[in-house]
Amino acid sequence: MSKKFLQRLLALHYVYPKPLNKLNLLLEKDLQLERLHEQSAQQLSQKLLISAASAQQLKTAYADSLKIPFEAVYEKHKIIPISYLHPLYPKSLLELFDPPAILYAKGKTNLLDNPDRLAIIGSRKATSYSRNAMELIVPPVVENNFVIISGLAKGADAMAHETAITFGGSTIAVTGSGFLHPYPKENLNLHNIIEENHLIITEYPPYMPPKKWNFPMRNRIISGLSRGIVVTEAQTKSGTWSTVDHAIEHGKDIFAVPGNIFSPLSEGPHKLISEGAKPVWNGWQVLEEYRQLVSKN
C-alpha cells in the first residue's frame, strides 16, 4: 500500500467509518481513491445510497480530513492503523460479509500473527461461577499459546481478560469505541494494562464514543478473530448471542460451560449444549477438540 493511498483511506475512514463492504462502493472503480475528491455530491449520493445533503457533507469533510497527517498523529498517540491490505490484518476477518476496513490497534500487534485465538464471552452480570470456571479453562489454554479474546465489557469479558493475564497468557480486547473514549469506565485500569502489555483493537476512529449499535458490530470481530468461542454464563436473550450467531454462521467451534439449573444465567449455555455446542469445564477439553481436528486433517 502506498503512503498516499493510506493517507486517503485514513482520511475517508475518519469521516466515514464504515466497514469495507460500504467503502468498496467507492473503491471498486477507484482502487487508490485517486478520484474521490473529484466526485460530485450527486455521484457520491448514488454510489453510497445516502442523501445528497449527506453526500455533500461527506465530500466537504473528506477534503478537510485529507489535510490531517494521520500517520504522524496516530504514531504520536501509539495508535497503529491496520488496513485491510496490511500484512498484520487477520485474513479470517475478510471472510465476514462486512469486514472492518481498518483496525486501530494499541499494544502488541504481533498477537494478531497467532492463529490460535479463543474467545471467552458471557453476561455482563456474570457471577463468581464464571470466574471459577475460567480459572479451570484458561490456564491449560494459555500454556499452549492460545490468545484469549473478549470484548472488555463488564462481567464475563473483564473476567476473561483478567484470568488470561493472571495466568501468564496474552489477551486481545475488541472494543466498541475509539481510543479517546475507553468504555466502560469501570474497566479503565484493565484497559490500560491491556493497552500496555497485550493488545486492544477497534474498528472505530479515536473520536468515536460508545454507541449501543457499535457493540453488535464489535461482536462479529470477536467471532471473526477466533477459532472457537467459550460461553460461560448468559441468558438466552443477551448481547452474547450476537457473537454466537456470527460464530455459528462462520463455522466456528462453540463451547459452553454447564451451570446451575436454577440460575437464569445457565439458560444460555444449556440451550447451546442442547443444540450441539461442546460442554466444557476445563481447558484440556478445549485443547483436545483442536487436537482431534488436527489429527482429522
Convert the pLDDT of each residue in 112-141 to its tens digit: 999 999 999 999 999 999 999 999 999 999
Q: pTM (2 decimals)?
A: 0.94
Q: How confident is the model at residue 293 (pLDDT cuts 50, 70, 90)?
A: low
Q: Is the peptide bond before 184 cis (omega within 30 degrees of 0)?
A: yes
Other Cβ atoms less than 10 A from the Cβ of 97: the count is 11
Other Cβ atoms less than 10 A from the Cβ of 32: the count is 13
Closest C-alpha to 36, from 58, 17, 18: 58
The C-alpha atoms of residue 205 and residue 208 are separated, in whole angstroms, by 6
The C-alpha atoms of residue 253 and residue 13 are separated, in whole angstroms, by 32
The C-alpha atoms of residue 107 and residue 128 are separated, in whole angstroms, by 29
CB crowding 132-142: b at 16 or more within 10 Å, else e: ebbebbbbbbb
The radius of gyration computed from the CA coordinates of the chain, to the nearest angstrom, equals 20
- The pLDDT tens digits for 261-279 are 999 999 999 999 999 999 9
Cell 455530491 belongs to 41
The one-letter amino acid at 222: I
The C-alpha atoms of residue 33 and residue 201 are separated, in whole angstroms, by 25
Mean pLDDT for the stretch of residues 237-266? 91
Closest C-alpha to 52, from 60, 62, 44: 44
Would you say residue 243 has pLDDT above 70?
yes
* Residue 296 pLDDT: 46
* Residue 297 pLDDT: 40
268 alpha-carbon distance from chain centroid? 22
Would you say residue 52 has pLDDT above 90?
yes
User: Which range is least confidently modeled, 17-21, 170-174, 238-242, 257-261?
Assistant: 238-242
The C-alpha atoms of residue 177 and residue 172 are separated, in whole angstroms, by 15
* Residue 292 pLDDT: 63
The one-letter amino acid at 44: L
